[in-house]
Amino acid sequence: MTSTIRIPVYPYVRCYLEVQYGPSLYVFDRNYASTLLRSMLKKFDKKDPSIVRPSQKLNLGATYDITIGRNSLDRLGAYLTNEDIKRFSHAIDLLIRQEMYRWCQHPNATDHVIDFNIRRFIDLYGFSEDDLPFENLKRWYFRERERINKRLHARTEHEYAMMLSYASTDDWLPIPRRIHLSDEPYKSVSIPKAFQLMIPFN
């Protein structure tokens, strides 16, 4: 025997959930949304009437059904606070945007023009322009790309640990004084024919 919990969500969140999971999401499915919901569900508190029958109704523009088995209902409960309901929609909203970014960055993308790729992503899930505007997604995409690029290109100096012993018949040899991963050109110094190169290691 199963029960249905109908929770408020943003309209575009419902569109995404329906494409990904169908008209209803089963609580113990192995996916991100189900795992998130399981962590939010609470048991009813008979001592607190506001938890048995919440006095404040939340309206986010749409609803989505959650299916839960009888055993899971007894063990986890079926109550979600208004804060958790909003957190769920916000988490799925971020999931949508991250998927859009990967969609646009995919090496086999149909087109390398960002605007076209975002439009195709919107069409795939049937998002309404009123609920999730194109310009909103586009601005988020460029902010995310800038954030990721800064992280990837932030270089720190790495020092290596080794001892290099070298002997030569020549009296003087130019060698790099330090090895690192910066873009600066290597500096050279003249050394005698027998030397040890000491490079500290972290």
This model's pTM is above 0.85: no
Contact 9, 60 (CB under 8 A): yes
Contact 125, 103 (CB under 8 A): no
Structure tokens at 109: 């993308």
The answer, yes or no, to whether residue 181 has pLDDT greater than 60, is no
Structure tokens at 49: 């009437």
Which of 32-46, 114-128, 188-202: highest mean pLDDT?
Answer: 114-128
* Rounded alpha-carbon distances, angstroms, from residue 54 to 58, 65, 112, 131, 179: 10, 18, 49, 27, 65
- How confident is the model at residue 29, as a pLDDT? 87
- How confident is the model at residue 91, as a pLDDT? 95
- How confident is the model at residue 80, as a pLDDT? 85
CA-atom Rg of the chain in angstroms: 29
Task: Give the pLDDT confidence of 44-82 residue by residue, as tens digits.
Answer: 766 665 555 544 578 899 999 998 888 877 788 888 888
Compare 27 and 14 and report the one with higher pLDDT: 14
Domain residue ranges in the chain: 2-152, 162-199
- How confident is the model at residue 101, as a pLDDT? 92
Which element (helix H / strand E) includes 68? Answer: strand 62-69
DSSP three-state, residue 95: helix
Task: Give the pLDDT confidence of 124-161 residue by residue, as tens digits.
Answer: 999 999 999 999 999 999 999 999 888 877 754 444 44
